[in-house]
Amino acid sequence: MSFTEILHRDLSPQPGSSTHSPARVGTGCAHGTFGELLQGSLQQDNDHFLVTLPIQRCSRAMFTPDTSSDQITVSPGHKLKSRELVQKLVDYFGHSFGGHLSIESDLPEGKGMASSSADLVATARAFESALGHDIPTEVILELLRTIEPTDGVMYPEFVTFFHRKVELVRRLGFPSRIKVVAIDEGGQIDTIEYNQRHRVFTDQECAEYAELLQTLETAILGNDLALLGRVTTRSAILNQKRNPKRHLDLMIEIGKQTGALGVVVAHSGPCLGLMFPDEPGQQEQIEQARCALAKLTGDVFIVESLDACTEPARPSIPPETSDASTGGCSLDLNQSSACAGA
Give the model's pLDDT for residue 133.
Answer: 83
C-beta atoms surrounding 330 within 10 Å: 24
Give the start-to-end residue ranges of the domains of the chain: 3-317
Q: What is the pLDDT of residues 55-99, one digit of tens each?
A: 999 999 999 999 999 999 999 999 999 999 999 999 999 999 999
Helix-then-strand count for the chain, H and E: 8, 10
Ranges of the chain with pLDDT below 50: 1-19, 312-342
pLDDT tens digits for range 20-52:
555 589 999 999 999 999 999 998 777 899 999
pLDDT at 199: 75
Q: For residue 193, what pLDDT is reported? A: 64
CATH class of 3-317: alpha beta
* 191-195 long-range Cβ contacts below 8 angstroms, 24+ apart: 191/116, 191/117, 191/148, 191/149, 191/268, 192/148, 192/149, 194/243, 194/268, 195/48, 195/149, 195/163, 195/164, 195/268
pLDDT number for residue 11: 31
CB 85 within 8 A of CB 243: no
pLDDT at 158: 98
Burial 266-281 (b: 16+ CB within 10 A, else e): bbbbbbbbbbbbbeee
What pLDDT does 3 receive? 34
Task: Give the pTM.
Answer: 0.83
